[in-house]
Amino acid sequence: MTSLLQVLGFAGSLRRGSYNAALLRAAGELLPEGMTLEIADLSSIPLYNEDVRDQGYPEAVQALRDHIVGADALLIATPEYNGSISGVLKNALDWASRAPGLPLKEKPVAIMGASTGNMGSVRAQMHLRHLCSYMNMFPLNKPEVLVAQAQDKFDVDGRLIDEVTRGFLSDLLIALADWTRRVKKAE
């Protein structure tokens, strides 16, 4: 592993004005020294179908899997839909978790989320942590970034304007860098 940490981020929302996509863009502004962030677009990932997979991974799926393999860590921004993660996010993880190669296995991951509600995606993050554990990923436990009342934290252009939230996000990225180096050192 080089000293430069390559992080792949993706949001579980396809909405043009997604607060979770905006949160990822804000992360790109706050990266600690020695870290890069590439943001993957999940919009072209087809619905998971074992019959399709038996014929080979679709191009968009293979590209996502390749990006995951090439990343030192993941940064996932999850919205909360009906008390859980979105179908978009679950679908991408289902495609990425299949053999061969198991690109998610033992991958360090930081989780964050934004919601217009009062709980800031806490239930979705709980479910995502459970999935990460099942897929043998290594989720960072603390700090947590739970952006409640997201409509008040971003401006009309989707820029994160809340300084407290920017501080939490910066802390998460610093912790992810440390966590990733610790996991990679143990390999």
187 has pLDDT over 80 = no
Q: Which domain range does residue 166 map to?
A: 5-186
How far is 110 from 128, CA to CA, in rounded Å? Answer: 10
Q: Model confidence at 175, in pLDDT bands (50, 70, 90)?
A: very high
| The pLDDT value given to residue 3 | 80
| The pLDDT value given to residue 186 | 81
DSSP reduced 3-state for 39: strand
How far is 143 from 141, CA to CA, in rounded Å? Answer: 6
Q: Residue 114: name the closest of 72, 160, 82 by CA.
A: 160
What pTM does this model have? 0.96
> In CATH, what number is assigned to the domain containing residue 46?
3.40.50.360
- Average pLDDT of span 160-177: 98
| The pLDDT value given to residue 1 | 43
Tell the residue number behind the tokens 């997201």, with chain if given: 150
Structurally, how many domains does the chain consist of? Answer: 1
- Average pLDDT of span 121-135: 97
